[in-house]
Amino acid sequence: MLQNRLVRARWSGKPIVLVGLMGVGKSTVGRRLAQRLGLPFVDADTEIEAAAGMAIADIFDTFGEAYFRDGERRVIARLLDGSPKVIATGGGAFINDDTRALILDTALAIWLDAPIDVLAERVQRRDTRPLLRNRKPAEVLEELARVRNPIYAEAPIRVPSDHTPHEVTVKAILRALNA
């Protein structure tokens, strides 16, 4: 179930950064993981909205995706201050070369991976995702997976997230961390 490319060793205390496609459970799993580890949890999207004073969808609409990605990069750089915490990123954060390099250099990246049908079912519950507007979620997610999954694969740990409860994913991460 778990594909762990790290030598099993105690987690070093670096920030833990969850990456993966939208709907994979980064925020939900991240909150639960942080609670289990006794660490602070930070949702990068929430921090971006606070810094911008507007919703992510509004940032996309007003300024475009490139502007959003630049702000996302700056916020994640600020969050990666070296202190132990769990950070949930937006689906596109790890795709930015600079952001990915910073995460891989200063944190432990964990790729949460799920089948497209699971992701499509999950993302249909909310209509706040700019990349899905006026499009079929499964088609968008297929396109994104084709481009992004090889990049997410650069994360040292990959954990499946499927139809099982999120607690199963949290336990798989804890096993990988040897915590």
- DSSP state letters, 39-59: --EEEHHHHHHHHHTS-HHHH
Q: Quick one: pLDDT at residue 125? A: 58
Q: Quick one: pLDDT at residue 23? A: 85
Q: Quick one: pLDDT at residue 126? A: 57
Q: Quick one: pLDDT at residue 80? A: 96
Q: Quick one: pLDDT at residue 119? A: 82
Q: Quick one: pLDDT at residue 57? A: 85
Both tokens of 156, joined, read 């040292």
For domain 3-177, which CATH number applies: 3.90.1150.10, 3.30.2090.10, 3.60.21.10, 3.40.50.300?
3.40.50.300
pLDDT mean values, one per 10 residues, the chain (179 residues): 41 90 91 94 94 89 89 94 94 93 95 89 62 69 92 94 87 85
Q: Quick one: pLDDT at residue 178? A: 80
Can you give the residue ranges of every domain in the chain?
3-177
With beta carbons less than 8 A apart as the criterion, state whether 103 and 83 touch.
no
Both tokens of 163, joined, read 């139809």
Q: Which of 91, 141, 162, 40 is closest to 30 using CA atoms?
A: 40
Whether the pTM exceeds 0.95: the reply is no
Could you tell me the end-to-end alpha-carbon distance of the chain, in angstroms, rounded to an integer?
18
Q: Quick one: pLDDT at residue 7? A: 36
Burial 35-73 (b: 16+ CB within 10 A, else e): ebbebebbbbbebbbeebeeebeebbeeeeeeebbebbb
Q: Quick one: pLDDT at residue 13? A: 83
Which DSSP helix (H) or strand (E) runs through 123? helix 116-123
d(CA 178, CA 10): 5
